[in-house]
C-alpha cells in the first residue's frame, strides 16, 4: 500500500457535489464526497437505493459533470480519461444486441474503433475464455441465462483493455447462487487483468467478498459515511464468507449505516 499511496491516485474526488435540477425541483444527490482510489485497487460503493451510487459512478465515467468539487483520473480530467479509452463500464442489465451473435456483441467496441476482423475474432475468443464462455461465440444473447449474459457484458467491457472497470450493480438481478459464483469469477478475471475496479452494490456481503476497501454511502443527501478496509487475504475463497472476520466486517459496516 505504501507505494500505491505515494503515487498519484487513479481516481480522486475532492468535495464533489451533484445537484440535479429539474423545472419543478432540485435534488442534492451527493454532498461533499472526497475519496481516493489507488491504481489496481478493487473498491465497492455500498449503500441503500437512492444514496447516489450510480450518480457517483457516472461522475467518475464522465457521463455526468459535477455541480461542485473536483474529479481527477490519474491526474487528468474524467473527460480526458474517457477519450483515452480508460473506462470499461458494466451496467445492471447487460444491454446486449439480440440480433448480434455473442462474439459480435463483445467486439462491438473494437469494430467501432476500426480494428480488423481477424483481430476482433481472436480477441473475442480470448475474452470468452476469460469469462468462462468458451463455445458460446456463435450463440445469440437470448439463448443464454442472465448470468451468462452479464458475463458477455463484462467481456465486452474488457475488450478495449480498460484501465478502470466501472460496474453498476452488475449482479443484483441474479439469484444468490449465481451471484456468488460470478463474484468468484470476477475476482479471477480481475487477478488476470489487474485493473482498477469500482463496483456498485447494495449487498454488504458482496462488497466485503470482493473489495480491498468499501466506501459506505448514506442517503439524503448522498455522502460518504465510512471507509472500511477489508483485510481478508487474497485469493478470496467461498469459505471466507463463513469466517469470523467476515461476520465482524458485516457487523462493522451495518454499524456504520446506523451511525451514519
List residues binding ligand ADP (CB under 6 A). Answer: 20, 22, 27, 29, 47, 49-55, 222
CA angle at 247 for the pair 249 and 42, rounded to the nearest 5°: 45
* Chosen from Mg ion, ligand ADP, none, partner binding at 99 (C-beta under 5 to 8 Å by type): none
* Chosen from ligand ADP, Mg ion, none, partner binding at 183 (C-beta under 5 to 8 Å by type): none
The string of DSSP codes covering 31-50 is EEEEEEE-TT-EEEEE--TT
* Chosen from Mg ion, ligand ADP, none, partner binding at 223 (C-beta under 5 to 8 Å by type): none
Residue 232 · residue 199 · CB < 8 Å: no
Smallest gap from Cβ 23 to Mg ion, in A, equals: 23
CA distances from 253 to 136, 161, 216, 260 (A): 39, 33, 8, 10
* Residue 12, C-beta contacts closer than 8 angstroms, at least 6 positions apart: 35, 36, 37, 70, 71, 72, 73
* Chosen from ligand ADP, Mg ion, none, partner binding at 20 (C-beta under 5 to 8 Å by type): ligand ADP
CA angle at 4 for the pair 248 and 48, rounded to the nearest 5°: 40
CA angle at 232 for the pair 53 and 32, rounded to the nearest 5°: 30
Smallest gap from Cβ 40 to Mg ion, in A, equals: 25
Q: Which residues bind Mg ion (CB under 5 A)?
A: 54
Whichever of 20 and 247 has its CB closer to ligand ADP, that residue is 20
Smallest gap from Cβ 92 to ligand ADP, in A, equals: 9
Smallest gap from Cβ 29 to Mg ion, in A, equals: 11
Whichever of 54 and 107 has its CB closer to Mg ion, that residue is 54
| C-alpha span between 147 and 135 (Å, rounded) | 16
Whichever of 51 and 158 has its CB closer to ligand ADP, that residue is 51
Whichever of 46 and 131 has its CB closer to Mg ion, that residue is 46
Whichever of 58 and 151 has its CB closer to ligand ADP, that residue is 58
Amino acid at each position: 500500500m505504501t507505494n500505491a499511496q505515494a503515487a498519484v491516485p487513479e481516481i480522486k474526488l475532492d468535495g464533489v457535489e451533484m445537484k440535479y435540477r429539474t423545472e419543478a425541483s432540485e435534488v442534492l444527490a451527493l454532498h461533499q464526497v472526497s475519496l481516493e482510489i489507488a491504481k489496481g485497487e478493487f473498491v465497492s460503493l455500498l449503500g441503500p437505493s437512492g444514496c447516489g451510487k450510480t450518480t457517483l459512478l457516472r461522475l467518475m465515467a464522465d457521463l455526468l459533470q459535477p455541480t461542485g468539487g473536483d474529479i481527477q483520473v490519474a491526474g487528468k480530467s474524467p473527460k480526458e480519461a474517457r477519450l483515452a479509452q480508460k473506462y470499461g463500464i458494466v451496467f445492471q442489465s447487460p444491454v446486449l444486441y439480440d440480433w448480434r451473435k455473442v462474439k459480435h456483441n463483445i467486439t462491438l467496441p473494437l469494430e467501432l474503433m476500426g480494428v480488423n476482423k481477424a483481430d476482433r475474432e481472436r480477441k473475442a475468443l480470448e475474452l470468452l475464455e476469460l469469462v468462462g464462455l468458451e463455445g458460446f461465440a456463435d450463440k445469440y444473447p437470448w439463448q443464454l441465462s442472465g448470468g451468462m449474459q452479464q458475463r458477455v457484458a463484462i467481456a465486452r467491457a474488457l475488450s478495449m483493455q480498460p484501465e478502470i472497470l466501472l460496474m453498476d450493480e452488475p449482479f443484483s438481478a441474479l439469484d444468490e447462487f449465481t451471484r456468488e459464483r460470478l463474484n468468484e469469477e470476477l475476482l479471477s478475471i480481475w487477478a488476470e487483468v489487474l485493473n482498477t475496479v469500482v463496483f456498485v452494490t447494495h449487498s454488504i456481503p458482496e462488497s466485503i467478498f470482493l473489495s480491498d476497501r468499501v466506501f459506505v454511502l448514506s442517503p439524503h443527501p448522498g455522502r460518504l459515511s465510512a471507509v472500511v478496509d477489508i483485510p481478508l487475504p487474497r485469493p478470496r475463497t467461498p469459505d471466507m464468507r463463513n469466517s469470523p472476520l467476515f461476520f465482524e466486517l458485516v457487523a462493522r459496516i451495518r454499524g456504520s449505516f446506523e451511525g451514519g
